[in-house]
Amino acid sequence: MSIVYNVIYISARLVFLFAFCLFSIKGDVSSMIINPNVVTLSNEELAAIEEAEPATIGHFRNFGFNNAPLFISLPGKRFTGRAVTVRLASNDSTLLHKVTEMVGPGDVLVIDRAGDQQYAALGGVVSWALHVSGVEGVIVDGAATDIEEIREMGLAVLYRRLSAITTRLFGLDGEINTTVSCCGVTINPGDIIVADENGFVALPADEAAAVCKKAIEIQNAEPGKKNRIAKGEHMADVTRAGALIKEYFEKNAK
């Protein structure tokens, strides 16, 4: 009799625990937030800085860069635009479908997967909707799938990995245009994203023009330096390295 009683008691406790956990999880994650896009720089202002490269900005700036490895769907492609953010904290991609109608030319869609690397949120049909929208590019801090299809349509996507298992439509949670974390970078809606196959940098909108113009000036000076090296000058003489070495030894001469 005591054995039957114990079985009934344990079963009841397990049912109660399962119901409690289910209720708790549902209460925590079942929320949707949809905010309007934050328009900072105009498309004309973006066009003036679109030649800036992330790696050139990395010559003089140390923060805002992804610190996780990324792959790109279109090698050699660079894209610049205003961040439109979406956060998918589970394998529910309902709001990713919604945000496809909120982006367009001048926008970069940034997808925060809240650490998940298993479920691919970005596949062929969603990518096609984004491609039709005219979005500049997409960054997903997680998995993508249907990569060959994405390449063929010409959509620029930076992604962490590929996966054959996908997110689903549950209509439970997600956030559009809130502050997100992507590849170790905090990104606000309206931040300016500069991206290519080397990675990306997120810039506050009020700093982006000055930062990008400085990068473009550096890029414009590079052909002249290469020509000097091709004509026989040593690289250390073309750059500041030679002067710095000379200065060091002069200061430390005994």
- Residues 112 and 95: their CA atoms lie apart, in Å, by 12
β-strand partners of 202: 193
Annotated binding site for substrate: 123-126
Q: How far is CA 146 from CA 103, 152, 215, in A?
A: 21, 10, 34
Annotated binding site for Mg(2+): 146
CB 166 within 8 A of CB 145: yes
Residue 12 tokens read as 């009841």
CB 217 within 8 A of CB 109: no
User: Could you count the other beta carbons within 10 Å of the beta carbon of residue 123?
Assistant: 20
- Residues 147 and 155: their CA atoms lie apart, in Å, by 10
Annotated binding site: 123-126, 146
CB 37 within 8 A of CB 177: yes
**Dihedral sign computed on CA atoms, order 117, 124, 190, 86:** negative
User: Could you count the other beta carbons within 10 Å of the beta carbon of residue 59?
Assistant: 11
